Amino acid sequence: MTQSFFEWMQGLSFSAWMLEETWASPIIQCMHLVALVAFAGAVLVVDMRLIGRGLIKTPLNQLARELDRWMIWSFVALFVTGAPQVLSTALKQYYSPFFWWKMQIIVIGLLFTFTIRRRVAFAEEGTLGHWPKVVGVLSIGIWTSVSVWARLIGLLS
């Protein structure tokens, strides 16, 4: 079932176009990397603040609110530029364990970011004890592992 879905994606005329068009993949990969930098920065500034580093003179919830839309829109850009790459190399992705680890951790990361991390980052400071530090470290760990698995798909698959 899953394999046939990936075979279907690989067989799409869009996937063939992506592979045949010389500049399509490089341009999309470059855009994906620029979006990654924007996403990483938005996440990091808040995560560092959660663990008591970085912009500590700025209230945490103010920082989190201001960078929220940058984080969301850069993630949207990551998805929009990542999907064509998955479509055009669907079977390579399907057989790569790193792709599946990346996808699983992205789901965990999104759930974590929009539930626990959001609640902690938007809460009144000083009311949650050590939890902000734990949440900050977990968030950095989750998103770092996503970029590690992503890089390894291309290198070791």
Binding residues (CB under 8 A) for another protein: these are 22-23, 26, 29-30, 33-34, 36-45, 48, 53-58, 62-63, 66-67, 70, 144, 147-148, 151-152, 155-156
User: Of 9 and 44, which CB lies nearer to another protein in the complex structure?
Assistant: 44
In the complex, minimum distance from the CB of residue 54 to another protein, in angstroms, rounded to a whole number: 5
In Å, how far are 43, 90, 100, 129, 147 from 69, measured between CA atoms?
11, 30, 27, 27, 21
DSSP symbols for 9-20 = HHHSHHHHHHHH
Give the Cβ contact number of residue 35 at 10 Å: 20
In the complex, minimum distance from the CB of residue 4 to another protein, in angstroms, rounded to a whole number: 31
At 14, phi and psi to the nearest 5?
A: -65, -40
Which tokens sit at 98?
């790193």
In the complex, minimum distance from the CB of residue 2 to another protein, in angstroms, rounded to a whole number: 26
User: Of 43 and 135, which CB lies nearer to another protein in the complex structure?
Assistant: 43
Give the Cβ contact number of residue 143 at 10 Å: 21
User: Of 1 and 156, which CB lies nearer to another protein in the complex structure?
Assistant: 156
In the complex, minimum distance from the CB of residue 141 to another protein, in angstroms, rounded to a whole number: 12
